[in-house]
Chains A and B, each alone.
Chain A
Amino acid sequence: MSVNRSDIENIARLARLSLKEDEVAGYVETLGNILAMVGQLDRADTAGVDPMAHPLAGQTQRLRPDEVTETDRHALYQENAPRVEGGYYIVPRVIE
């Protein structure tokens, strides 16, 4: 499986990553190599085999009583935010 420049640009757009020119060229080559290596999976006969999403079979999500367990610490958490005003995260204008 090979990938070309427009594939890489499309993937980068989906992944919300800006890439420099030289990065695009590098990823054309390295992603192509990775996908070729991953192509070995075609060798395996997986007819009738269930996909395995989780390594411990039979694990289920637990339920807990519907009680408040976490306190409001938004001011503390927002100390790491690049830009905050009045408790809100500030981003460029979305709606004109």
Chain B
Amino acid sequence: MSAAPLHARTLAELAAGLAAREFSSVELTRHLLARLETAQPQLNAMVSITAETALAAAAQADGAIAAGKAGPLTGLPIVHKDIFCTQGVRTTCGSRMLENFVSPYDATVVAKLKAAGTVMLGKSNMDEFAMGSSNETSHFGPVRNPWDTTLVPGGSSGGSAAAVCARLVPAATATDTGGSIRQPAALTGTTGLKPTYGRVSRYGMIAFASSLDQAGVLAASAEDCALLLTAMAGFDPRDSTSVDVPVPDYAAALGASAKGLRIGVVKEFFDTGLDADNERQLRAALAVYASLGATIEEVSLPNVGLSVPTYYVVAPAECSSNLARFDGVRFGHRCEKPKDLLDLYQRSRGEGFGAEVKRRIMTGTYVLSAGYYDAYYLKAQRVRQLISADFARAFERVDVLMGPTTPTPAFALGAKTADPVTMYLNDIYTIGANLAGLPALSVPCGFVRDLPVGLQIVGPHFSEAKLLAAAHALQRETDWHRQIPRLWL
């Protein structure tokens, strides 16, 4: 039996402990709530900590376990990114606009994980409306990286990543529009999966860019990601982009061997901008796969270099449309003493949204405006087709693609806030999977200057089981994912 402290254990290990009555869900919940409270001044990983409802849910889970009615996730604590609506609990999306919004309903992801018996400990901090790569755009202040609190944790799911990294909670939900799960996973040494577009319901997940957004998970291992995804995924009639494809038991499929796995290494991801030490760690991970019997060949995605400019037309265009609903009338922030309806709209939105959100709304409004639509929006949609076709061609030859998740390890708070384009280039390796709707994950593959870096694995549509098994194979051979920052041991 594992003698590790409760917070250092994975979901799978905690489930075993609960089943063996080694500890109760209430004990586990109390332990982690205390860690969340202690860490909050240092990391700012949470927007809300819901101790009372968490303890009630844990007590109920203990009852289910005692009655022999426990499922694989019963009594396991998680946090939800504050982009998911939670009934009766404040849901802010990291924005002043929704500072006082109490959701009247649960997102499907929240409802499914609740029905599976998980215990929600709170809502994690995030970039405002998920627009950011460093978690510095949150109205509730930046999240800090547990490996070094002068550094960013990545974004936009920075709170979820920091909370898992510091072992304040074993796993968290997250969302990924251009890399918002994988990039913070890489910068904090956690494992993060963005599923196929349409694999997980987005009902109740506040929209950013609807042709790109997808819900996923951040955890300490691929096995834990598999456990959560099995409970989260599946068709939802309430989400018109949800796809009706059967959900396999992802945890049961983890044992698939890497022998014979055809790995394509994306040539363009190693050409420019990649930190040399980061590349060394990636090559070492590829060597692990080779030693397990995988074949490795170089693959070219000739148009993938245009992912960032494509994304920064498509995503702002969709966000400018989605965020039009925040009008100061039905919910959200309203300005004081509006003099007329136009003033109400303009000041409520001007005050309620932060600088980066306004920047993206304006970029989107510009590229969709009369005279520019063809030159920007339609052009970007055509390039998106080319990028997507590059991936499809690659998957005729290989099973999965591998490369870096980020160009460098975590950077300093404030280092990239002055120039948005510099910040946007952080997502250079992750955006392609969103444009093509592909599942992709980031798995820890080593340390550079004492900071974690990630290996990204991308697969064809609905190949989550294959990606998770590949990540699990690496995690059986290495212990990078088991490393915890010294302060948080």
Instruction: Please give the residue numbers on chain A whose beta carbons come within 8 Å of chain B beta carbons, in ascending order.
Output: 3, 7-8, 11-12, 14-20, 23, 26-27, 30-31, 33-35, 37-44, 46, 49-56, 59, 61-62, 64, 73, 76-83, 89, 91-94
Contact = CB atoms under 8 A, between A and B. Distances in A.
Given A44-B306, A56-B461, A89-B330, A49 B382 contact: yes
Given A34-B363, A81-B330, A92 B338 contact: yes
A64 B419 CA distance: 48
Nearest to B101: A80
Contacts of A77: 104, 330-331
Nearest to B374: A51
B436 A18 contact: no
A56 B385 contact: no
A50 B382 contact: yes
Interface residues of B, number: 73
Which secondary structure dominates chain B's binding surface?
helix
B233 to A, nearest CB: 15
A50 B383 CA distance: 9
Nearest to B357: A17
Interface of B: 101-102, 104, 197-198, 211-212, 237, 240-241, 243, 303, 306, 308-310, 312-313, 320, 324, 327-334, 338-347, 349-351, 353, 355, 358-359, 361-363, 365-367, 369, 376, 378-386, 388, 419-421, 424, 434-438, 461
Contacts of B347: 18
A55 B355 contact: no
A49 B385 contact: yes
A40 B328 contact: no
A3 to B, nearest CB: 8
Contacts of B434: 55
Nearest to B360: A34
A89 B329 contact: yes
B388 A52 contact: yes
A53 B381 contact: yes
A36 B217 CA distance: 34
Given A17-B353, A55-B435, A91-B344, A11 B362 contact: yes
Contacts of A92: 338-341, 343-344
